C-alpha cells in the first residue's frame, strides 16, 4: 500500500475537472454512479496506487480486489523503476536540454536551447519551418507544450521573446512521421512505446504499447 505522504500528495495534485471527466467515462461504460466511483477511485489510490487514469484504463470499476492487485499502477510502476534504474543519471532524462544534447543523433529532428541561443541561431532554426514546438525544460504528459505557428508573429524576435516570457524554451522541429503511423490520426505524433529490461547482457521486452491521438488534438486540448 502507498505511504500516507504519497497519497496526500496525489490528493493535492488532483485535477478535479479531469477526474470528473473520468467519472463520466466510468458511468457511460460501466453504469457506475459518480459518487460510488469517486469513493472507489480514492480507495484504489490508497490501496493500489492507481490514479484516476489508471482506474479507467485498467477497468477497475469492473474488477475485484484480487484482480486489481495484478495491475502495475503508477505507484507500483514507480517502485519497479526505482529498483531497476540508477537514478544518479535521472537528470539526463528529466532535463530536456541535456536529453536533446546527449541523444541528438537519435532524435532525427533539430532542437534549440531558446534560453541561450542568439537571434541568428533562432532565425536559422525557424528557417523553412511553418510550425515548431516549444516546451518547458522539466515536466511530463505534454503539460506546457505549445505549438508555434511562425506566420502568426510579426518577427523572429517576437517569437523568441514569447517563448522566453513563458519559459517554454526547449525548441524542437515538428516531427514528420511514417505515413502508416499517421493514418489513424494525422494531427498528432502517434508513438510506439517499447519497455525494456536489461538483465546482465540480455534485454527483455515486457510489453509494447501504441499510442494514438484522437479528435483532432495535437497534444492535450484542442488542435489550434
Coil/strand/helix, residue 99: helix
| DSSP, res 157 | H
Asked whether residue 14 carries a pLDDT value surpassing 70, the answer given is no
Q: Rounded CA gap, 132 and 123, in Å? A: 12
Closest Cα partner for 43 from 90, 11, 16, 13?
A: 11
Strands annotated E in the chain: 111-113, 131-135, 146-149, 170-173, 191-199, 202-211
Q: What pTM was computed for the model? A: 0.68
The answer to whether the CB of 51 falls within 8 A of the CB of 40 is: no
List the grid coordinates of 31: 453504469
**Which residue reads 492507481 in cell numbers?**
50
State pLDDT tens for residues 137-188.
998 777 888 999 999 999 999 999 999 999 999 999 988 888 999 999 988 8
User: What pLDDT, on the 0 to 100 scale, is given for residue 176?
Assistant: 84
- Helix, strand, coil percentages in the chain from 3-state DSSP, rounded to 5: 45, 15, 35
Cα distance between residue 106 and residue 100, in whole Å: 9
Query: Cα separation of 8 and 140, whole Å?
Result: 20
Amino acid at each position: 500500500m502507498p505511504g500516507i505522504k504519497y497519497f496526500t500528495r496525489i490528493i493535492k495534485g488532483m485535477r478535479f475537472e479531469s477526474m470528473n471527466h473520468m467519472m463520466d467515462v466510468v458511468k457511460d461504460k460501466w453504469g457506475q454512479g459518480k459518487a460510488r466511483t469517486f469513493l472507489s477511485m480514492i480507495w484504489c489510490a490508497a490501496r493500489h496506487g492507481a490514479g484516476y487514469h489508471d482506474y479507467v484504463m485498467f477497468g477497475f470499476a469492473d474488477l475485484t480486489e484480487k484482480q486489481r492487485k495484478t495491475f502495475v499502477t503508477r505507484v507500483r510502476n514507480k517502485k519497479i523503476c526505482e529498483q531497476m534504474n540508477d537514478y544518479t543519471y535521472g537528470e539526463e532524462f528529466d532535463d530536456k536540454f541535456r536529453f536533446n544534447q546527449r541523444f541528438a543523433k537519435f532524435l532525427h529532428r533539430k532542437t534549440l536551447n531558446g534560453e541561450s541561443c542568439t537571434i541568428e541561431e533562432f532565425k536559422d532554426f525557424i528557417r523553412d519551418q511553418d510550425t515548431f514546438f516549444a516546451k518547458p525544460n522539466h515536466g511530463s504528459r505534454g503539460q506546457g507544450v505549445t505549438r508555434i505557428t511562425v506566420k502568426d508573429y510579426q518577427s523572429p524576435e517576437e517569437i523568441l521573446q514569447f517563448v522566453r516570457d513563458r519559459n517554454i524554451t526547449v525548441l524542437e522541429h515538428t516531427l514528420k512521421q511514417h505515413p502508416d503511423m499517421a493514418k489513424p490520426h494525422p494531427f498528432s505524433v502517434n508513438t510506439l512505446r517499447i519497455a525494456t529490461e536489461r538483465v546482465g547482457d540480455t534485454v527483455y521486452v515486457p510489453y509494447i504499447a501504441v499510442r494514438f491521438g484522437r479528435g483532432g488534438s495535437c497534444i492535450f486540448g484542442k488542435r489550434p
